[in-house]
Structure 1
Amino acid sequence: MPRPTRFRLSTVAFVVAALALSAPQAHADPVRRAEVVPLPRTALDAAVAAATTPQAISFARTNFKQGGHPEPATITVAGSGLPVYALAPDFVRGDPAAAPGRFAYVAVVATADDGRQATMAAAPDPDGTWHITGVLSGADEHHLAPNLPTNGVLLNEPQINGWYALTPTAVTLLQASLPQTPLNTPIPLTDYQHQVNTRYADKLPGSTYQNNSGLGFKVTTPAPAAQPPPTPNRTLWWLTLTAIAAVALTTATLAWRRTHSQRRHTP
């Protein structure tokens, strides 16, 4: 009797295994996409403070004098700043878990006494010290800020000078020099990732395109800002700054978190 019993158990096991193999396979849970890293309030305050230093004011004054314009008698610096994010290379590569953007700079508006505006871009050094990395004519960032939803941030696609409202699920094009999608139309992040992968995946750092000095995601090392920086081309300046700011912000954020944690645990 033991032999038939073993036969029946083996037969049952075989049937169960066959059914399991023939059954439709359950789909794996979708990869959870990372979101952009929010800027701590203390970091935002430090960025705004950096825009009020004499050196920063000198940089802004140089910008206002470009093109033969008169030097302003006074310059007023806004008391608030807007964090700006740039298209992230990992997102462009097609990584389903990558956040669409990474921190680039804090935009702080400077206004001359005749009404002209410029944007001072503040970013941190690896040690967490904030300084002005460039001054850009106009105030596109702050003019677009009212269009951002409460859960959105401003995302830049520098290759087309495109500005988007980025939320955890979609991007909406607000303005662009070379628009690739309709304005004010939400695009799911999966679709947007496919679009930018098609446009730029072969232009990332290390690619033949980049090595041949194409624009794409070209990375360069900026000169120290010992002298007032010239008014930069927004696209070229973006491509340089965004490659640097991510490393600096990560270091600064970790330092802030360590300090914040120590303060919370100090009796």
Structure 2
Amino acid sequence: MRDQRTSTTRRAARFSRLPVTVALGVSALLAVAGPPAAAKGPADLPNLQAALDALKSTATRDAVCRFLTAPVPNGSTGAAVTIPAKTDPCEGVPAFTIKDPVALNEIAPAFVTGTAQPTLADALKLAYAVAGVTTSGGRTATVMLAPTGTTGWHLAAVREGDTDATFAGKADLTATVFSEPQIRGFYQLKLTTVEPLNDAARQGLNGQASVSLADYQKLVKARYADKQPGSEYDTKGFSSGLGTGRPPSSPSTTPLIIGGSGTALALAGGAVVLRRRKRAQSG
């Protein structure tokens, strides 16, 4: 009888330790696997704080104000018009808010030329951090920040409308959003399937609802492989290389401010200079 009680006691002790053992095992597994993946968002930007600081800077505020007040020429002349700078660029400008930045990906040059493999890692590159702007009157714009080295961001451009920021913000755990800037097409990449997000992208896929990433590479190679920086197409002034009509990607004290219809506004010495770029004849 005593042996039976002893055996029962030992079994009870073993079972009482089981939850502790299981709990320790689960903890060990979590330590190896790491925490669950977080949803994509602004934090995916390298050095998010630097991007936020750039957006909150006086330079960005003044650039947005100049953009909202400067008249954009609608004609096709190449003449430059200089607008004297105000002491306070934001004087008389409607109140506006700048949203948090999100990542804007673009097709990578090596992917376009066909030297890179049709994979997510090789097909796309982080081009800008973009933030939507909304005024109290309902007008929208987009602030574009370009990378400074590997850790920083600087003001590159202000663009009419919030298309870039709106589409870039659609990225999630299942889809990576990217743009084909030459046609202002926006796509989402799900594993190895490319799907259009706007009309320009649908035209870029020849009306197809989706294509494989490999087939998409063939399409952009046919469109742009001979229009890379340094090509005859580029040197004759028909484009600025792969990124036709894009803002500069290196730090500058004179950020380019892009309006509609190919019009560019550059800040020079505190004044606003309006120019009109040559329009690309292809791509």
Q: TM exceeds 0.5?
A: yes
Distance in structure 2 (CA, Å) of the matches to 1:168 and 1:234: 34
Equivalent residues of 1:174, 1:183 under 8 A apart: no
Work out whether 1:185 is the aligned partner of 2:185.
no
SS of equivalent to 2:197: strand
The Cα offsets for residues 203-230 of structure 1, whole Å up to 9 and x where unpaired, read as 1123222222232526899486435643
Match of 2:56 in 1: 52
User: Does 2:186 match 1:166?
Assistant: no
Q: Are the counterparts in 2 of residues 123 and 133 from structure 1 also a CA contact under 8 Å?
A: yes
Task: Tell me how far apart the structure 2 counterparts of residues 43 and 234 of structure 1 sit (CA, whole Å).
Answer: 33
**In 2, Cα distance between the equivalents of 1:105 and 1:170?**
23
1:110-169 CA distance string (max 9 Å, x none): 222212111101122127332211001111023324644523222111111111112331
* TM-score normalised according to structure 1 size: 0.63
Letter of the 1:92 partner, please give it: V
CA distance in 1, matches of 2:189, 2:136: 34
Higher fraction of strand: 2
Q: Which amino acid aligns with 1:217?
A: L
> How many pairs does the alignment contain?
198
CA contact (8 A) 1:61 1:71 kept: no
Percent identity, please: 27
> Paired residue for 2:117?
97
Counterpart code for 2:95 = T
Which TM-score applies when normalising by structure 2?
A: 0.59
The letter of the residue matching 1:46 is A
The answer as to whether partners of 2:156 and 2:251 remain within 8 angstroms in 1 is no
Q: Could you say which structure has the higher helix fraction?
A: 1
Contact 1:175 1:183 in 2 (8 A): no
CA shift in 2, pair 1:71/1:169, >3 Å:
farther
Structure 1 residues 96 and 73: alpha-carbon distance in aligned structure 2, compared to 1, 3 A threshold:
closer
Structure 1 distance, partners of 2:51, 2:192, is 28
User: Does residue 234 of structure 2 align to residue 207 of structure 1?
Assistant: no
Q: Which residue of 2 aligns with 1:122?
A: 145
> How far apart, CA to CA, are the structure 1 residues paired with 2:156 and 2:46?
19
Contact 1:111/1:118, CA 8 A, preserved across alignment: yes
Q: Secondary structure at the match of 2:71?
A: helix
CA deviation digits over 1:8-44, x for unaligned, max 9? xxxxxxxxxxxxxxxxxxxxxxxxxxxxxx9755523
- 1:147 and 1:160 map into 2 onto residues whose CA distance is 19
What is residue 154 of structure 1 aligned with on the other side? 177
Contact 1:210 1:218 in 2 (8 A): no
**Judging changes above 3 Å, is the alpha-carbon distance between structure 1 residues 224 and 191 closer, same or farther for their aligned structure 2 residues?**
closer
Secondary structure of the residue that 2:59 maps to in structure 1? Answer: helix
Moved more, 49-58 or 140-149: 140-149
Structure 2: distance between partners of 1:158 and 1:126: 22
Q: Does the CA contact (< 8 Å) of 1:64 and 1:71 recur in 2?
A: no
1:1-267 correspondence runs (5 A): 40-41=44-45, 43-67=47-71, 71-78=92-99, 80-97=100-117, 99-126=122-149, 128-145=151-168, 147-177=170-200, 179-181=203-205, 185-215=209-239, 216-217=241-242, 222=248, 225-227=252-254, 229-232=256-259
Tell me the CA shift for residue 104 of structure 1: 0.8
Give the deviation of 1:234 after TM superposition: 8.3
Gaps of at least 5 residues in structure 2 are: 1-41, 73-90, 265-283
Residues 195, 58 of structure 1: CA spacing in aligned structure 2 closer, same or farther, 3 A cutoff?
same
